[in-house]
Amino acid sequence: MKHFADLINALESTNKTNARIDAIVDYLERAPEDDKVWFIALFTGKRPKRNVSTALMKEWALEITQLPYWLFQESYSSVGDLGETLSLILPPPSEKIDKNLSEWMTEIVNLKEKTEAEKKDFVLKSWDGLDYTERLIFNKLLGGSFRIGVSSKTLINALAKYSGQEMSALMHSTMGKWQPGEISFNELISAEKVNADNSRPYPFCLAYPLEKELEDLGTPDEWLIEYKWDGIRGQIIRRNDEVFIWSRGEELVTEQFPEIAETVRSMKGNFVLDGEILAVKDRKVLNFNELQKRLNRKNITKKMLEDIPIEVFAYDLIELEGKDLREKPIAARRALLEEILLNQKPGHIHISQSVNFEKWEELNGIRESSRDINSEGLMLKQKNSPYHSGRKKGDWWKWKISPLTIDAVLIYAQKGSGRRSAYYTDYTFAVKNGDALVTIAKAYSGLTDKEIMEVSRFVTKNAIEKFGPVRTVKPELVFEIAFEGIGFSSRHKSGVALRFPRIVRWRKDKTVDEIDELEEIKKLIQ
């Protein structure tokens, strides 16, 4: 655990990519083989499920420290992170426990079968044998909240530097549903093992926001233009009569879309399709909020299947009969995809519509009207482009329509975590609903450091009430909030939900009387 704690310290002490890569390589050169597997698992989001509730961890820490609850809450509010707060308030360790990361993770996973008394004994003994940093990491691993700000690209670069393997092969080999204990480190990073199981997806090919004039892209006939849909990007895999559906976030979502899985099972051959999973009814793409009702559910009811039917708009074919097609140009891949879908005519899976045009200027109007069909804009793909791992400038561009915006007032604020734990950076905004204010969205980004400090001073001076770490403030600060989409929602007080809300600017020129009305905002919903 000490080596792992040293790695975390090194990663959090710099924002330089090369320094982070060197820190990871140094760790891999020293760590035991099993620890390396757990390292990759944790850094690619394969955290074990929480087997000890944070409520119990807090209860046990208060029992040890004898702190009054109000003082703990004040400490938690100031720090902004439960695992860090617990590490700070606990007394210094009386002994030293020296275990590898893999040993700790095995014990944490095995807590699932333990009684509450056995869990308490394990946690208290662990706290008493770890220093502050090790204890902090232990708390986050135990509570299921371990995250580290290292991009997947940085991780893959470090693995490539350490192993000498190609980055694309490493991106592929570290994906899928593998678990520590079932695979060795050498097998995991070996390019020869990339299809060790039938489920393994490919790294998604991603696009950059368009940053050129259309005329600078070349001639129109060199480009494939498609609508950009606001759904769930997915890879649909059929290998050896097994079917898997992966989201871009590397979540296996097969059971959430049973009609898609059943359709793919009825098809012939082996293939991997890339496309957008959408809620489509009566040939109309529904708002993302409707699709969201189907997500993360253990059971999909018959009524839900009828009310929110799902379709896949397929736009790429990246594997056919075991052959990797990624190096072929997209024009050739799409031709093969069209052949499969035309011959088999699977229900629920359709070829993504391509946009016919002759001159670049024609795309401007098509893009501007895309919101009418619940599209986010256009995708521009060079017809000769391969299917890259991740992003590569120049081949795929996304050209989104301008976001929707509203003016709203700040009514709640909460301090951030990590480097921002001293400032109020998490904001809740409201709009007018008659003579009252109703919450409309939360936002965490869009302000400069100087503005964050200014808002924090306002919150400190103008807090009306506090609920744990949350402060209610005088409704005076008006902000322009941008968002990608809007839909009706029974889960929000306002009755609507905004898609990807963020702060555009602080409207110091406006008062709370000038913020938007809820009924007018609802008119934005298609």
* CATH number of the domain bearing residue 126: 1.10.3260.10
Shared domain for 392 and 425, answered yes or no, is no
End-to-end CA distance of the chain: 53
Q: Say how far apart CA 503 and CA 482 lie, in whole Å.
A: 6
194 located within any domain: no
What token pair was written down for 73? 């809450």
211 located within any domain: yes
Cα torsion at 30, 101, 151, 234 (round to 10°)? 130
- Distances from the Cα of 270 to the Cαs of 243, 322, 351, 369, in angstroms? 10, 7, 18, 38
106 located within any domain: yes
Shared domain for 380 and 360, answered yes or no, is yes
Question: Residue 476's domain is classified under what CATH number?
Answer: 2.40.50.140
420 pLDDT more than 80: no
Shared domain for 388 and 271, answered yes or no, is yes
Domain boundary among 115, 142, 169: 142
Instruction: Tell me the per-residue pLDDT of 357-403, one tens digit each, with 9 for 90 and over.
Output: 999 999 999 999 998 898 999 999 999 999 998 888 889 999 999 88
Residue of 36, 119, 228, 381 with catalytic role: 228
Percentage helix, strand, coil for the chain under 3-state DSSP, each rounded to 5: 40, 25, 35
- Give the Cβ contact number of residue 4 at 10 Å: 22
151 located within any domain: no
Domain boundary among 142, 174, 190: 142
Q: What is the domain range of residue 512?
A: 404-522
Domain boundary among 96, 125, 142: 142
76 located within any domain: yes
- Total number of domains in the chain: 3
- Catalytic residue flag (residue 432): no
Shared domain for 338 and 474, answered yes or no, is no
177 located within any domain: no
Instruction: Tell me the per-residue pLDDT of 224-245, one tens digit each, with 9 for 90 and over.
Output: 999 999 899 999 999 999 999 9
190 located within any domain: no
- Distances from the Cα of 429 to the Cαs of 132, 271, 419, 438, in angstroms? 37, 46, 23, 8
Instruction: Tell me the per-residue pLDDT of 307-331, one tens digit each, with 9 for 90 and over.
Output: 999 999 999 999 999 999 999 999 9
pTM flag (> 0.75): no
Shared domain for 355 and 408, answered yes or no, is no
Q: Which of 29-38, 101-110, 333-342 has the highest mean pLDDT?
A: 333-342
Shared domain for 395 and 408, answered yes or no, is no
Q: Say how far apart CA 419 and CA 151 lie, in whole Å.
A: 18
Shared domain for 324 and 212, answered yes or no, is yes
Shared domain for 396 and 408, answered yes or no, is no
Shared domain for 296 and 374, answered yes or no, is yes
Q: How much is the average pLDDT of 510-519? A: 92
Question: Residue 226's domain is classified under what CATH number?
Answer: 3.30.470.30
Q: Say how far apart CA 334 and CA 340 lie, in whole Å.
A: 10
C-alpha radius of gyration, the chain, whole number? 26
Shared domain for 310 and 375, answered yes or no, is yes
Shared domain for 464 and 515, answered yes or no, is yes
Instruction: Tell me the per-residue pLDDT of 168-200, one tens digit each, with 9 for 90 and over.
Output: 778 777 777 777 877 888 888 875 555 557 888
Shared domain for 267 and 380, answered yes or no, is yes
What token pair was written down for 59? 């209860």
436 located within any domain: yes
Q: Say how far apart CA 471 and CA 465 lie, in whole Å.
A: 6
Position 284 scores a pLDDT of: 92
DSSP bridge pairs for 470:
414, 467
Position 419 scores a pLDDT of: 63
